[in-house]
Amino acid sequence: MEKLTIVKIGGNVIDDSEALHDFLRDFSAVPGKKILVHGGGKIATELSGKLGIEAQMVEGRRITDIETLRVVTMVYAGLINKNIVAQLQLVNCNAIGLTGADGNIIKAQKRPVKVIDYGYVGDLDDSSVSAKMLNNLLEGGFVPVFCAITHDKEGQLLNTNADTIAAVIAVAMSAQYETELVYCFEKKGVLKDVNDDTTVVRTVKSSQFEDFKADGTIAGGMVPKLQNAFDAIHKGVAAVYIGKADELPMLNKGIFGTRMEA
């Protein structure tokens, strides 16, 4: 089975033009077919402030009212996505920038209102991704680059968690490819001591997840990352890694960050 590597980039790397350039150069060198999914960094929050739109966050998740949706669409699908595509073309990686609406590749459902109304936020499930359309792009020699914007096929764009997008794509493509999912951010992986990069936990099994949450090894934004990771593994993804963006070349040597195992 042919290998497919899906890489999600986010965090401070998106906000640092030099770090982003270096990462994209390394990403372009990843062998075989590949897909990139990116978050939005701090640019959307900064622009919202300049426009007088207050960013509302609940437990690290953005409340997306209609004004905020306009801003994140401009920033994620426009400025950041096209800058990444242009930088990849610079290093001879034939990227094509996409939202979920393009080719109807990722269809989401607007998150239902429960205790909190998250606004125009999209949720995904196992039927959200059109593996056929995505495979057509891969077979055509393109490297798809997805931002964190999807749609509901009823004309509405939706702000959608980029980590989840990457995981759902990986699951959808695992029937056709040996799929690896790689989360890149500013830390070296899961750390026993969040302030000490030498304390990387090289392997985390799903049976350890609850213990690591209980003792604080895994906390904050790492919790949903690992939830997505283990969900992907249990649904057929061959391997999931979490590690530092500037160490991506180490992936082929098998010593990149933390590897999640069933």
pLDDT for the residue numbered 101: 98
Mean pLDDT to the nearest integer, 74-103? 97
Q: In this structure, which CATH number among 3.40.980.10, 3.40.630.40, 3.40.1160.10, 3.90.25.10 belongs to the domain 3-261?
A: 3.40.1160.10
Q: Which residues of 34-73 are buried (b: 16+ CB within 10 A; e: fewer)?
A: bbbbbbbbebbbebbeeeebeeeeeeebbbbeeebbbbbb
Higher pLDDT among residues 140 and 11, named by residue: 140
pLDDT score of 60 more than 70: no
The Cα 243–Cα 188 span in angstroms is: 5
Mean pLDDT to the nearest integer, 99-122? 96
SS3 233: helix
Query: Tens digit of pLDDT for each residue in 31-42?
Result: 999 999 999 878
Letter for the amino acid at 214? A
Neighbouring residues of 109: CB distance < 8 A, sequence distance ≥ 6: 122, 123, 124, 125, 152
pLDDT for the residue numbered 255: 84
Q: Where are the alpha helices (DSSP H) in the chain?
A: 12-15, 17-28, 43-50, 66-72, 81-90, 131-139, 162-173, 209-214, 222-234
Instruction: Specify whether the CB–CB gap between 15 and 41 falls below 8 A.
Output: yes
Which residues define the annotated binding site?
40-41, 62, 159
Instruction: Specify whether the CB–CB gap between 68 and 62 falls below 8 A.
Output: yes
SS3 244: strand
Q: Where are the domains of the chain?
A: 3-261
Which residues define the annotated binding site for substrate?
40-41, 62, 159
Query: Tens digit of pLDDT for each residue in 128-158?
Result: 999 999 999 999 999 999 999 999 999 999 9
Nearest to 238 by CA among 139, 170, 137, 136: 170
Higher pLDDT among residues 206 and 143, named by residue: 143
Nearest to 50 by CA among 38, 42, 58, 41: 42
pTM: 0.94
Query: Tens digit of pLDDT for each residue in 210-241?
Result: 888 888 888 777 888 888 889 999 999 999 99
